[in-house]
């Protein structure tokens, strides 16, 4: 991340921006307005990614922000522009997403600093090891008058490609719930323990995973995923004594999502009780669905139409920093087509012509704001 900051800072300074890193590890570039007391537009996305991921999720939105400043060729607008590369959006290391954008929105709970990673290092310690001061996190909050937040992002799904469209305007971001379920049984010898006497944690978790899929398939638009399972002791000739499984549930309707989560957790309790297993449920996060700002959506729609592209509005099934910034300011997102619908994978890519389209729309959007479009 230090190397990424160094490279991006060089690009920011080259186009006339200042570049700093706040206490949450967010890289922040600022391009001043014509007057010192002007409001600002925030453009951003995240710099972190998931294991074995691609090169465009998050980072494309940061680079596009810098490129838009470059296209101004030194021209000052009635508003300043802040481009932010958020430090931690995915939640991979500490099991909690959006640390960077929460700090900017002023919604970062101080208790989060005591969360630990797989090596037992707390968030606060990680911040210090990055040569930053966690006691100064409040200074990361965005203050002053803000026109809004704009995020460019790959769709991470197949819909735009199926419709043969380069761009999509996000109307809302689905809500999501994240848990870890721990099934605890009894580890024992695989060759000497009769089947009826086993308390196999992995078998219980596997039955539950099948149930998760069946429930999700029966509810329109619902997405439920068990993406990680850890088994102890993890030997081929030993009955599993413990199985830890993740759970990720998403839907645009918070009521539907909450109802399905309750059903899924009850089914885990039922399965565990029938198999003689203990069950622990660890709740990591609960994020409500978030609507994007109608005025900014319309400004994006005008810009897309002005540039000669079809206007398509859609819902994001993935979480984004925009849903956190929306708690603090008007927010909007523009999706770029994702070839093959592939993301969180090394084959993740974009079409160069779609990036060019997003640049054209971004420039038109800046002009819309300059002319008082919102």
Q: Mark out the alpha helices in 106-188 (DSSP H runs).
A: 123-129, 159-162
pTM: 0.83
The pLDDT of residue 370: 96
For the cut 80, the answer to whether the pLDDT of residue 374 exceeds it is no
The pLDDT of residue 141: 97
Mean per-residue pLDDT over the chain, rounded: 96
DSSP for 270-293, written as a single string: HHHHHHT-EEEEEEEEEE--EEPP
The pLDDT of residue 256: 97
Q: Mark out the alpha helices in the chain (DSSP H runs).
A: 2-14, 59-71, 99-105, 123-129, 159-162, 201-217, 254-275, 294-306, 321-325, 352-370
Distance (Å, whole) CA 259 – CA 245: 20
Q: pLDDT digit string (tens) for 1-21?
A: 999 999 999 999 999 999 999
Q: pLDDT digit string (tens) for 164-213?
A: 999 999 999 999 999 999 999 999 999 999 999 999 999 999 999 999 99
* Residue 179 host element (H or E): strand 175-184
Q: pLDDT digit string (tens) for 231-265?
A: 999 999 999 999 999 999 999 999 999 999 999 99
Q: pLDDT digit string (tens) for 57-82?
A: 999 999 999 999 999 999 999 999 99
For the cut 90, the answer to whether the pLDDT of residue 284 exceeds it is no
The pLDDT of residue 169: 98
Q: Domains in the chain, start-ordered, CATH in brackets? A: 2-174+289-370 (3.40.630.10), 175-287 (3.30.70.360)
Residue 285 — pLDDT band, cuts 50, 70, 90? confident
For the cut 90, the answer to whether the pLDDT of residue 50 exceeds it is yes
Pairing of the two strands 27-31 and 146-154 = unpaired
The pLDDT of residue 248: 95
């Amino acid at each position: 991340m230090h190397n990424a900051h160094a490279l991006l800072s060089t690009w920011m300074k080259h186009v006339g921006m200042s570049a700093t890193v706040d206490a949450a590890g967010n890289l922040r570039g600022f391009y001043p307005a014509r007057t010192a007391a002007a409001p600002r537009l925030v453009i951003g996305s995240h710099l972190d990614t998931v294991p074995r991921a691609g090169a465009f999720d998050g980072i494309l939105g940061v680079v596009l922000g810098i490129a838009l400043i470059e296209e101004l060729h030194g021209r000052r607008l009635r508003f300043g522009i802040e481009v932010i590369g958020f430090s931690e959006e995915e939640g991979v290391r500490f099991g909690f997403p959006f640390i960077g954008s929460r700090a900017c929105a002023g919604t970062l709970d101080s208790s989060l600093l005591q969360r630990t990673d797989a090596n037992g290092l707390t968030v606060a310690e990680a911040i210090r090891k990055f040569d930053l001061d966690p006691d100064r996190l409040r200074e990361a909050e965005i203050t002053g008058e803000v026109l809004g937040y704009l995020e460019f992002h790959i769709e991470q799904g197949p819909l735009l490609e199926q419709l043969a469209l380069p761009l999509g305007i996000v109307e809302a971001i689905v809500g999501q719930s994240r848990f870890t379920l721990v099934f605890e049984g009894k580890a024992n010898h695989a060759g000497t323990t009769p089947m009826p006497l086993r308390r196999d944690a992995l078998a219980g978790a596997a039955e539950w995973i099948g149930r998760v899929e069946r429930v999700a398939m029966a509810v329109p638009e619902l997405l439920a995923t068990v993406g990680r399972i850890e088994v102890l002791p993890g030997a081929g000739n030993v009955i599993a004594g413990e199985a830890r499984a993740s759970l990720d549930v998403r839907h645009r309707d918070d009521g539907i999502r909450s109802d399905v989560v309750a059903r899924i957790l009850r089914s885990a309790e039922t399965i565990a009780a029938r198999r003689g297993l203990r069950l622990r449920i660890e709740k990591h996060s609960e994020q409500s669905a978030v609507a994007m700002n109608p005025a900014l959506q319309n400004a994006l729609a005008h810009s897309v139409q002005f540039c000669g592209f079809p206007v398509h509005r859609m819902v994001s099934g993935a979480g984004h920093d925009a849903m956190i910034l929306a708690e603090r300011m008007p927010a909007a997102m523009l999706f770029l087509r994702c070839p093959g619908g592939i993301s969180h994978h090394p084959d993740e890519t974009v079409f160069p012509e779609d990036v060019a389209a997003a640049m054209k729309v971004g420039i038109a959007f800046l002009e819309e704001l300059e002319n008082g479009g919102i």
